[in-house]
Each structure stands twice: as structure tokens, then as C-alpha cells.
Structure 1
Amino acid sequence: MTQDKDAELVRQIEADGDYRVLRKIKPPRALQDRNLKEGTRRIAILDVETTGLDPRTDSIIEIAVMTLDVDWPHDSAVLSNTVPMTWLQDPGRAISSKITAPLTGLTNEMLVGQQIDREAVVKLLTGADLIVAHNARFDRAFVEAFYPEVRGGKWACSCVEIDWLAHGYDGKSLGHLLLQAGYFANTHRADDDVWSLFHLLRTVAPGTDGRSFLDLLIERSEAETVLLKARGAPFSLKDQLKSRGYRWNAEEKVWWTEGDYAHYLTEKDWLVQNDVFNYTSEMIDASRRHL
């Protein structure tokens, strides 16, 4: 078919309420702008693939990073961006079939003899004003375990720091969010995930008068929040704590929640009303978030 016929066919399908058209995300393309404005922020978008879930016993086997310069605090318009750069790492042992394709798209044969360019990764990440990942708690734990030079940087999580439901999206997985935005990607390789997340974040968030999800995420990451931890809460409160958005930290054995100061005051009062008096709070910024 010609391009015009394709476009007409898509128009007809979209006009029928019984169907939706998904568009494949276009291949990565760099954007250069030599006239960067004063106040420009550099963002790094990152994804890692690993041999497991514990950075104390598992290894990074793939890392991908792209950087972009945005007009902040005006509207976070992207002024320039690189294409994702990716590196593989031989973990020194065979990886489980649960980790290889189709989950990561990697095979043991692909990893043999490979080594991540440590200097390049550290330079990219330490040169960023903000590091973004779609599940930053996971990525940050591995990155800072293997690249301690990056510790103390500012992180933002596109999975939990954007209120996707408020903008009409259900679920939080990257692939599912892309489908709801009308797009799809081919693989689960780290560089594909980074480019897909970049594409998703540049999408206009419904109900925001034209603001992108990237703009919302940067704004959210700039705000200080209060981390509230409750210790010794009775088991009978478990379901109520979950319904109020608390998460269980098994290592510290505390229920925790994070939000603005008004959220802190509301939850502090609720804890006291339910006889939970052993709680602590601390102010959190992007350098302390997702640890």
C-alpha cells in the first residue's frame, strides 16, 4: 500500500469505535541543539537487566542510558537527546532460562566475554541532574551497588511518581502504559525500554492543558516529601494500611508511606487514632528517594 492509502485505512479504523490502532515506536534518533538555554537540565533515562532481584548476590548483565537536555522550569521541552547507549556484561556464570529470552531478549552466548564500559556509564550518570527509571528503587539499588561513584545522585521513578490513574491509564507496567497511549515496541532489551520510556514521557498527559508526562515527573521530583514509618502496628491494621497506600519494608519491619506535608499530617493523626505511637518521619528529596 502507498503511504496515503495506509493513512486513510488507519483513519477509517480509528473512526470505528470497535477498533484501536497501535503505532510502532519509531527507531531512536538523536536531536541536537547547539543553542541550549540557560537553566537547561540534563536528564538520564536508564534501564538495567540483571541476573536476579538482589544486588548483593546478583549482577547487572545489560545497562542502557540515554541523555536529554530539557527546558526547565519552563515546560520541560526536549532541546536535545542522544540515542540509547547500551552495554552487556558477562556475569561469569550461566544465567537462568527465566532471565534469558523472552524476558530480557538476552542469551548466555550473547554475554560471553562482554564487559560494560564502566567509565562511560559513570560519566553519563554523574553528569545528569536527574536519573529517571521505570522502577527506580530496583535500578538504583543495582546501579549504586556496582557504580558507587553515582551514589548521592537525584533519581525519579516514572512508575510511582506519576499518577497514571488520574490521567486515565490503568496499570503501571511500561508495556501496558505504551499500549494505552497507542504504541508498541518489539522487544524487552534495555535500550528498547529506555527509548520506549522516553517516547511515553514525551506524550501529553490528559487533563493537563498540554503538559507532558516528563514535565509532571520533573516537577514531582523537585518537591520535598515526608517519609513516614510506622513500627509495631498491630496485625489487624494490615489491610487498612495497605488500602491507605502504605508499603511493608521487611528488612526494617516497618510500614511506610511518602507524600506531601498534608499527607503526613493526615496519616500521623490516623496512626495515633489507631494507637500506633511508634512512628518516625523525615524530609526526602530526589537524592534520598527510591533507596
Structure 2
Amino acid sequence: MFQDTSSLAAMAEALSQSPDYRVLRRLMARLPFTPSSDQETKTAVILDTETTGLDAQRNEIIELGMVKFDYTPNGNIVGVRDTFSAFNEPIDPIPADITDLTGISDELVAGHRIDAVAVEKFVDDAVLIIAHHSQFDRGFAERYWPVFAQKAWACSATEIEWRKYGFEGAKLGYLLHGAGYFHQAHRAVDDCNALLEILAFELPTIGRPARPAAGERAEENGSRVGGAIAVRAQKSPQNPRLSMERRQRRKTQELVRRRLRSRPRRRNRVSENGDLPARRRAANAEADRFHAVLGKGLRTGCDTSRSNRSAVRSAAAEINARR
């Protein structure tokens, strides 16, 4: 009897109607659709990466997955345009714990490279890049493909108030189970398809999907895109060069604060008065002096390689010599 898929579907449907059971269905990727010319839509891309570690400047991407979809001005998902999935062979061997987590081995990615031209072409018409915990994926994506620095980004994990809509957390697998599905986690394109269904899921508390349900906050900020994830997109920098310079300065400030905390206590008039804003201004001023010595600042804004640490120590010695 279990070979009859129609019988299984009927049983699952019957169980789902009972308050005593919950049914999870295997997530199936949506088939691409043909956009209609008479419907106003915008295009977004859901992106996910699998990597050899958490450091966006030192670790490497081993898999990139993307799903391109169209949505209406009020945030309703219309359909999937295309999908992208590719492996990348890293320079260093994939750590054993990463293979255990993702199932991606050195043998699986051997000889594979992600085509940069294909990536740029895929995201060219997208007005928004969405990732679950975008702070992680964005760092890797912008390092590998500069086109992502020119795109607006949004985070589906932090910019939608999932607890407000009856979920106890924002973990991807947990949200997907709430939508009634299960999937192969920690594989890039599968996670993208999972996030698409989560964003299309009709929230039981209000009877509509996550994007338009959270869109009230976006509308208050003048957004016509719809959805809470559009809020951050409206604030994304228009000048990627300026954005990089700001990140460089923030990273230099962070290195200065670490240096100030690690060196022997040497109080001055600013620190003695206990004025925290003043101390921060003093630390930022020292960071500016670092930039003056280092020229253009840190090479990538997040590089903590040995050569950069050496440059910082040299700069610190020169600053101390000037005092």
C-alpha cells in the first residue's frame, strides 16, 4: 500500500486535517515560470553559500546556490525564474567537520570553479539579494564577486519578527517545519528553495505570507517593495566604494580598541574622567591616525592576515614615536 503515492497523499491530507497530527512534506523545488508582461513585478535573488569556515576573508566558498524569483509590489511571490548551483574547489582541504555538516567532500568539488561571468549575469536584473543571516553570506559573496557590493541586501532571519507571528526562533529548518516541509539542510540551493517557501508561507496568525505581513513597517518608511526585508534594502549604500571605506575605518577602529585593551594600563585625562563617549572618540581619533600612517587603510576592510597585522604594529610604533 505504501507504494501507492496517491494513497499516501490522501493519508497525509487526512492527518493534516486533525489537530492531533502534523504532517511534514518533502520540499520540492518550484518549476520556472514565464513572466507575464501585463503584471508589474520586481526581481529578487535568494542566495546561500557553503564555506570552509566562518571567516569571510580567510575561508573559502565551496558551494554557491541562488534562486531568482519575481514578486509583486505588495510582496507576493509570483514564481521562480531560474536557479543557480555550482561547486568551487578550495585551495586548502575541506575540514572534516564541514564535510560532516554539509556532505561536501574534497572529491565532490575537485576540479570545479564558479563562473564569475555567469554569477554576474544571473544577478544582473535583481533589485534585492536575500539571505538567511545575510551578514555571513554577504561577506563571502562581495569578496568573490564585486557585483554584490552594488546590490541591496536583506536578511530574512533578523528583519522579520518571526516570534511575533508564532515562531519560537528564526532557524531555517525550524521555520520550514512550521511551513509544513522538510529538506536536505546545509546544501546551498536546497536552502534557497527552503527560504523561498518560508517567504511564501501564509502565516496562520494573520492569514498572509511573511513579506507583506511585515510590510507595514516598510510602508511606514516609504518602501513600495513590501516586506520587512525591504527595510534594510532601502538603506543600502548607493556608493560601494564609500561603503568599503566605512568598513575599513570600522575594522581599523576595532583593531585599535583591541590594542588599547591588550597593552598595559596607561591612563590619561580622557580615560580618568570615565566619559565613555569621550574615550570612544579618543579611540576613533587614534584609528584615524592609523589610517594616515597606513595610507589607504587595511587592504580589504576585514583582513587580519600576518602582513596586515605587521603593518598595524609598525603604524602603532610610528604613532607612539610621534607622541
- Fold match by TM threshold 0.5: yes
Give the aligned partner of residue 65 of structure 2: 64
Structure 2 SS opposite 1:191:
helix
Structure 1 SS opposite 2:23:
coil
- Answer whether contact 1:41 1:129 (CA < 8 A) is retained: yes
Structure (1 or 2) with the larger CA radius of gyration: 2
Q: 1:11 to 1:91 in 2, by over 3 A?
A: closer
| Structure 2 residue 228 is the aligned partner of structure 1 residue 220 | yes
1:82-135 alpha-carbon deviations (Å, 9 max, x no partner): 34211111112211011114x112111011110001111122234210000001
Deviation for aligned residue 1:80: 3.5
Gap regions ≥5 residues in structure 2:
216-225, 236-252, 259-274, 282-301, 303-323
- Greater fraction of residues in helix: 2
Deviation for aligned residue 1:71: 1.1
- Higher RCO (C-alpha 8 Å, min separation 6): 1
Percent identical among aligned pairs is 32
Aligned residue type for 1:85: F
Q: 1:8 to 1:136 in 2, by over 3 A?
A: same
Give the aligned partner of residue 43 of structure 1: 44
Q: How does 1:23-102 map to 2 (within 5 A)?
A: 23-35=25-37, 37-38=39-40, 40-72=41-73, 75-101=74-100
Deviation for aligned residue 1:181: 1.9
Gap regions ≥5 residues in structure 1:
227-248, 255-274, 281-290
| Runs of at least 4 residues off by over 6 Å | 249-254
1:222-280 alpha-carbon deviations (Å, 9 max, x no partner): 43699xxxxxxxxxxxxxxxxxxxxxx976869xxxxxxxxxxxxxxxxxxxx865689
Q: How does 1:118-157 map to 2 (within 5 A)?
A: 118-157=116-155
1:175-209 alpha-carbon deviations (Å, 9 max, x no partner): 1111122210134210111111111110012333x
Instruction: Tell me how far apart the structure 1 counterparts of residues 72 and 128 of structure 2 sit (CA, whole Å).
Output: 13
Instruction: Tell me how far apart the structure 2 counterparts of residues 42 and 21 of structure 1 sit (CA, whole Å).
Output: 32
Q: 1:252 to 1:70 in 2, by over 3 A?
A: farther
Deviation for aligned residue 1:44: 0.6
Aligned residue type for 1:93: D
- Answer whether contact 2:30 2:80 (CA < 8 A) is retained: no
Aligned residue type for 1:92: I
Instruction: Tell me how far apart the structure 1 counterparts of residues 255 and 32 of structure 2 sit (CA, whole Å).
Output: 42
Which stretch shifts more, 158-167 or 15-24? Answer: 15-24
Instruction: Tell me how far apart the structure 2 counterparts of residues 96 and 57 of structure 1 sit (CA, whole Å).
Output: 14
- Answer whether contact 1:105 1:187 (CA < 8 A) is retained: no
| Structure 2 residue 208 is the aligned partner of structure 1 residue 211 | yes
Deviation for aligned residue 1:68: 1.0
Instruction: Tell me how far apart the structure 2 counterparts of residues 82 and 202 of structure 1 sit (CA, whole Å).
Output: 15
Q: TM (normalized to structure 2)?
A: 0.65
- Answer whether contact 2:211 2:229 (CA < 8 A) is retained: no
- Greater fraction of residues in strand: 1
Q: TM (normalized to structure 1)?
A: 0.71
Aligned residue type for 1:220: A
Aligned residue type for 1:43: A
Aligned residue type for 2:72: D
Give the aligned partner of residue 317 of structure 2: none
Aligned residue type for 1:118: A
Aligned residue type for 1:31: F
1:169 to 156, 167, 170: 167
